[in-house]
Amino acid sequence: MRERWRAAAAAAAVGLALIAWPVLPGQPARAAAPETVAAAECDVLAPGASAAAEKAVRTACSQVGVWYSWGGGHGPAPGPTYGVVDPTDPASEHDPERRGFDCSGLVRYAYAEATGRDILNGTAHSQYNTPHATARFGAGEGIGPLVPGDLVVYGNARKVHHIAIYVGAGKMVEARQSGTRITVSDVRLGGDYFAAVRVNGSPGQGTFSTWGTDVWTHTEASTTSGRVHKFAGPTSVRIALQKHAQSVTAEGITNDAWSYLPDYRAWITNIYIKGPAWLDGVPTCR
């Protein structure tokens, strides 16, 4: 009798568990289960890439499932950040609550982790035009010449609006748009597919890194000259020349050495270049 009672009680409990109880007025509704992400295989899917490019691919793949967030990944240092609202995209209304990456933020983070240097800090357009490029491939070449780690870009020569990382086998890992998560997709050829670029992750001659935040470059080797570009955080830069000019005191350091950055057509005080006050191996501007 007791066993029959236990069986009946168990059956009743199961039945109660299956009832969808109504939500009473003033009673909070049960939160929806978190969205799950079914990602395609993400890894280095073809040979031919450099060690740095393979590491960039695997770093990006480690972020599959993380939210796209407009402006995400563009903090002082590479890595996920909360985004901002894109005034042209209603789907971005929750981006300030979502810690993640936009397309260029993901590319920046992947290559910073792969190289140990912030070599792709900037927009998708500036990443395509990076001085660290070793090869470029037009849309007409398709994916034939691409190897894992190459950057595939969408837009045109005047404005690149999207960038992703090729992983091989016709696929790319990307942070595509607000309301979605980082995922693996087929490379979308045709339409506004523009080109691809291969990045050299090895330090080149004359390549240094800035430090500090909100550091301005100038049209001349003087803080009173016009401002050109602001480095939000540490950035890899090429230096063509250096010279003695205006003495500057900042961060408790005084130095009269300035370096010329050919990719920005601007000068920066050597105070904000990692290394000695006078940089080794950089020619002197006479």
125 is catalytic: no
Residues 195 and 234 in one domain: no
User: What pTM was estimated for this model as a whole?
Assistant: 0.61
Catalytic residue among 42, 103, 132, 218: 103
Question: What's the pLDDT tens digit per position in 71-110?
Answer: 999 999 999 999 999 999 999 999 999 999 999 999 999 9
Q: Is residue 244 part of a domain?
A: yes
Residues 85 and 141 in one domain: yes
Please give the Cα distance from 102 to 125 (Å, whole number).
13
Residues 94 and 123 in one domain: yes
Question: What's the pLDDT tens digit per position in 191-235?
Answer: 999 999 999 876 555 678 888 999 999 999 999 999 999 988 888
Q: What is the DSSP string of the chain?
A: -HHHHHHHHHHHHHHHHT--PPPPTTPPPPPPPPPP--PPP-S--SS---HHHHHHHHHHHTTTTSBB-TTTT-SSSSS-EE----TT-GGGGGGGG-EEB-HHHHHHHHHHHHHSS-TT-S-HHHHHT-TTEEEEEEGGGTTTT--TTPEEEEE-SS-EEEEEEEEETTEEEE--STT-B-EEEE---STTEEEEEEE--SPPTTEEEB-SSSEEEESSSSTTSPEEEEESS--EEE--EEEEEEEEEETTEEEEEEEEETTTTEEEEGGGBSS-SS-TTPPBP-
12 is written with which tokens? 């009743």
Catalytic residue among 54, 61, 74, 174: 174
Question: What's the pLDDT tens digit per position in 233-264?
Answer: 888 788 889 999 999 999 999 999 999 988 78
Catalytic residue among 74, 132, 162, 218: 162
Residues 145 and 101 in one domain: yes
Residues 84 and 155 in one domain: yes
Question: What's the pLDDT tens digit per position in 171-184?
Answer: 999 999 999 999 99
Q: Tell me which residue range forms the domain holding 233.
A: 207-272
103 is catalytic: yes
162 is catalytic: yes
Residues 123 and 246 in one domain: no
| pLDDT of amino acid 22 | 40
Domain count, the chain: 2
